Structure 1
C-alpha cells in the first residue's frame, strides 16, 4: 500500500500546468486592477476621439 502512495506523491506531471495557471491568474488579476483604476481615463480618450471624428466634415475631398 505504501508504494502506490509514494508513487502518487512523487508524480509531478501536472506541476508545470498548475504553475502556468497560477501565472495566468495573477496576470489577469493585475490587468483587472489596472483597468479598473484607469477606466475613466480610457473612457475619456474614446469620448474625445468620437467627438473629434464627429466634428470632421464628411465631404472633405
Structure 2
C-alpha cells in the first residue's frame, strides 16, 4: 500500500511540474508577442470598421 501511495504522489509532482512549465511558456509568449498581436488585431478592426487602410 505504501508503494502505491508513493507512486501516486510522484505522478502528481511530475504533472504539477509539467503544468508549471506550460504556464511559464504561455506567459512568456504573451509577454513577447503581446504588442505585436494587439497591433495586428487593431489593424484588422480598423480595416473592418472603415474599409480603408489604417496605420
| TM norm. shorter chain > 0.5 | yes
- What's the TM-score, normalizing by structure 1? 0.67
Q: Distance in 2 between matches of 1:22 and 1:46?
A: 33
Name the structure with the higher helix share. 2
- What's the TM-score, normalizing by structure 2? 0.73
1:1-61 alignment runs, 5 A limit = 7=2, 11-56=6-51
Residue-pair matches, total: 49
Larger-gyration structure (1/2)? 1
CA shift for structure 1 position 11: 2.5
Q: Name the SS for the 2:24 alignment partner.
A: helix
Question: Which structure 1 residue ranges, 5 or more long, are not aligned?
Answer: 1-6, 57-61
Q: Distance in 1 between matches of 2:29 and 2:50?
A: 32
